[in-house]
Structure 1
Amino acid sequence: MQLHSVSGKWRVGLALSLTTCLLWGILPLALSVTLNVLDVYTLTGFRFLIAFTALGSYLTYKRQLPSWQKLKQVSWKLWGIATLFLAANYLLFVSGLANTSATTAEVLIQIAPVFMGLGAMVIFKERYTRRQWFGLSILILGFVLFFNEQLKMLIASPNQYLFGSFLLFWAAVCWAIYALAQKQLLLQLSSAHIMLGIYAGSTLLFAPISTPKTVLTLNPLELVILLFCGLNTLIAYGAFAEALEHWEASKVSAVLAITPIVTLVCVDVFSVMFPALVAPEHHTFVAIFGAFLVVAGSATIALGQYRKRG
């Protein structure tokens, strides 16, 4: 079976990965606010609908919609797998977020890039060098230190967090499967065409279980946040899909590992700007030191020399 190979434009891949990281870091805060007024099914369905409408309109305007001849050559089974597992990831993540917190959700969802990196080693024959394995050990140590307080809270309050953590774990598994399917689909279609099909299929999946009338009850601020959630979906996943075109999946996953730091920085900033919407969090010196280790570990993995299995 022919496997997808990257373009080698690692600077482009790095920039796109960082864009995805920033948008995903902000997203849990916006979702937490929206969950106060919408159920998880309606919120998830509208995120896909907004993304599909925006991307579809853009491709139509540019006259870049895929031809039927090209679609006939696509593996519909693989496309279906990517759609089902991304839809499941969205639903499970939002459900897990509703039962935990933005910080906890971002901590646990980091299992997803790890699964993706390991899967890439098996399927796409990507391989870490010794330097990259060393970077991974630094990254893991950084996470242990950075999230020490949150993990203690998770252990101390199992009734509050256990169910949400269970959902987030499976959200991570679903995302890794989607990501690997998405990478292989790049052999057959562009990232924009792949995501358009995924958004369309996911919108149809959530249509029967959504309650669109509740959106009409939102105030202007809540509508803007919902729109941001949808556009975040479009831009972040578009950047992620394109990053896989230019950079190895294992390195993309390493950069995405810093997303929790982005989330916690955003919590600090927005808790000052909008105290009624976002509660502040306080971090110790150990946690801050852990953050530096996470960044150092991610950079070591991302910039380490890449090898293929012989």
Structure 2
Amino acid sequence: MTKIHQTSGRWRLGLALSLLTAFLWGILPIALSVTLQKLDVYTVTWFRFLIAFVLLAIYLGVRGKLPTLRQLRSTSGKLLAIATIFLALNYILFLQGLALTSPYNAELLIQLAPLLMGLGGLVIFRERYTLTQWLALGILTIGFILFFHEQLLQSFIASSQNTNTSHTYQLFLNKNIIFDSSRKYLLGSSLIILAAVTWAVYALAQKQLLKSLSSSNIMLMIYGGCTLFFSVFAKPKTIFNLDYFHAATLLFCALNTLIAYGAFSEALEHWEASRVSAVLASTPIITLLSVEFVSVIAPNLIAPEKLTLVGMLGAVLVITSSVAIALGER
């Protein structure tokens, strides 16, 4: 029988690392939205993985903690390939979905990822939910439905308000515009949901890999594999055409990848996957606050979020129920 990974029991460290991950992921969609104004998704993703791989390799090399041949031989190649492929898919699907929706919408929908990881932790790693946590899971599902329904409704309303329906032809044209707007939102949201599924698979595979490798060594190999994969599609020359602001934003995205995923990977070493996933549910709050802040100081950079009462209720249900899942045993 395959031996599963066991946490270190240092839950306070796991909690701190999870909160750091949530903060970095919370502000990341804004930086990505700005970067995508100048670069394609493949080049952005390739650069993020390349910088993360190079910096992590230097750090581990200086500290003498690069993976040994013995460690690599004892590691499941299939599991490592699964983690690498599914993380690469997650990056592309999320960026494509983000380009079709808003940062806050993308960030809230991607909360399905830690939810699915938590459910996977129950099955694969035999973690357990209490009755309170199962009830919170039901409330979280209702919150997702309310938020998604309201966002779709608002896309219809916004499209109809931005058009002039004074003539029959214009009315026909406007209906097509409304349909295209709603289809764009549905497509973007669907890509985000698929990104959540691929991320959950990656996270569960990585947690099992911790049985034979350290979190930093796992991420080094995943970064390297993803860099090679995206080098086929990337256009490195376009990076040199960026102005200082967008170049700095791209570099921030790359550093965010290194620090956030390093903290997340280490958190799984010390805390249960279900608990880590629930703490990460606070990410949309950080995104919403960040969007509001940026839209005030730079209104031409990012538009503020337009949330209705029902949409806010759905978001609140998602976030609070996720926290309840984390604290259910207490």
Q: Same fold (TM over 0.5)?
A: yes
1:246 match: 270
1:266 aligns with 2:293: no
SS of the residue aligned with 1:236? helix
Q: What residue ranges of structure 2 are gaps of 5+ in the alignment? A: 157-178
* Alpha-carbon distance, 1:54 to partner: 1.3
Assess if the C-alpha contact under 8 Å between 1:154 and 1:162 holds in 2.
Answer: no
Cα distance in structure 2, aligned partners of 1:18 and 1:30? 19
Assess if the C-alpha contact under 8 Å between 1:138 and 1:296 holds in 2.
Answer: no
2:300 match: 276
1:17-73 superposed Cα distances (whole Å, 9 cap, x missing partner): 111111111111111111110011101100101111111111112121111222121
AA in 2 matched with 1:137: G
* Alpha-carbon distance, 1:284 to partner: 4.6
2:215 to 188, 191, 195: 191
* Alpha-carbon distance, 1:168 to partner: 1.6
Assess if the C-alpha contact under 8 Å between 2:109 and 2:144 holds in 1.
Answer: no
Q: Which moved more, 1:142-151 or 1:89-98?
A: 142-151
Assess if the C-alpha contact under 8 Å between 2:112 and 2:196 holds in 1.
Answer: yes
Which aligned pairs between 1:151-162 and structure 2 lie closer than 5 A?
151-153=152-154, 157-162=181-186
Cα distance in structure 2, aligned partners of 1:34 and 1:176? 25
* Alpha-carbon distance, 1:208 to partner: 1.3
* Alpha-carbon distance, 1:187 to partner: 0.3
2:106 match: 105
1:219-265 superposed Cα distances (whole Å, 9 cap, x missing partner): 11111100110011111111111111111111111111222222111
Cα distance in structure 1, aligned partners of 2:8 and 2:111? 26
AA in 2 matched with 1:169: I
1:37 match: 38
* Alpha-carbon distance, 1:152 to partner: 2.4
Assess if the C-alpha contact under 8 Å between 2:29 and 2:103 holds in 1.
Answer: yes
AA in 1 matched with 2:247: L
Q: Which has more radius of gyration? A: 2
Assess if the C-alpha contact under 8 Å between 1:23 and 1:232 holds in 2.
Answer: yes
* Alpha-carbon distance, 1:159 to partner: 2.0
2:224 match: 200
* Alpha-carbon distance, 1:120 to partner: 1.3
1:297 match: 321
- What is the number of residues matched between the two proteins? 306
Cα distance in structure 1, aligned partners of 2:95 and 2:140? 26
1:183-229 superposed Cα distances (whole Å, 9 cap, x missing partner): 00000000000000000000000011110000000011111100110
Cα distance in structure 2, aligned partners of 1:94 and 1:101? 11
SS of the residue aligned with 2:231? helix
Which aligned pairs between 1:3-82 and structure 2 lie closer than 5 A?
3-82=4-83
TM-score (norm 1): 0.92
Q: CA RMSD in A?
A: 2.0
**Residues 285 and 152 (structure 1 numbering): CA distance in 2 closer, same or farther, change over 3 Å?**
closer
Identity of aligned residues (%): 59
Which aligned pairs between 1:109-120 and structure 2 lie closer than 5 A?
109-120=110-121
AA in 2 matched with 1:92: L
1:221 match: 245
Cα distance in structure 1, aligned partners of 2:130 and 2:256? 34
AA in 2 matched with 1:115: L
Assess if the C-alpha contact under 8 Å between 1:25 and 1:259 holds in 2.
Answer: yes
Q: Which moved more, 1:27-36 or 1:98-107?
A: 98-107
Q: Which moved more, 1:30-39 or 1:4-13?
A: 4-13
SS of the residue aligned with 1:280? coil
